[in-house]
Amino acid sequence: MSPRKMRVVANLVRGKTVEQAVGLLDLMPKKAAGIISKAIKSAAANAEDKSGGDVSVETLRLHTIAVDGGTIAKRWMPRSMGRANRINHKSSHLTVVVTDEK
């Protein structure tokens, strides 16, 4: 998915708690909402697992959520009179950091 489409959704949940962000993303009709929700849940599970149970999901907050551009797959589409147009399939890198601090 293109970074521009994902940033719209990422900007809505930036700075919220994990529970608020997942609740908001579940009601959003955009495709990026499902992708970002999955990444947030994974980050929260990793934080809980690596802390050895010291951190609960209720106290976690989104510290950083960043969407950067990834590789662009360039394809060609034939057009009339022997011409061709380039089609760019954009991808993105999603980075989610959660913390239990205020």
The pLDDT of 9-30, averaged and rounded, is 95
User: With bands split at pLDDT 50, 70 and 90, how would you rate the model's confidence at 96?
Assistant: very high
* Residue 37 belongs to domain with CATH number: 3.90.470.10
Q: Can you state the angle between helices 31-50 and 3-13, rounded to 10 degrees?
A: 60
Residue 83, both tokens: 């011409």
The CA distance from 55 to 62, in Å, is 14
The pLDDT of 8-31, averaged and rounded, is 95
The pLDDT of 58-64, averaged and rounded, is 91
Tens-digit pLDDT profile for residues 22-59: 999 999 999 999 999 999 999 999 998 888 878 888 88
Q: Say how many domains are in the chain.
A: 1
pLDDT of residue 50: 85
pLDDT of residue 74: 97
Residue 75 lies in domain: 3-99
Longest dimension (CA), the chain: 66
pLDDT of residue 55: 82
pLDDT of residue 68: 96
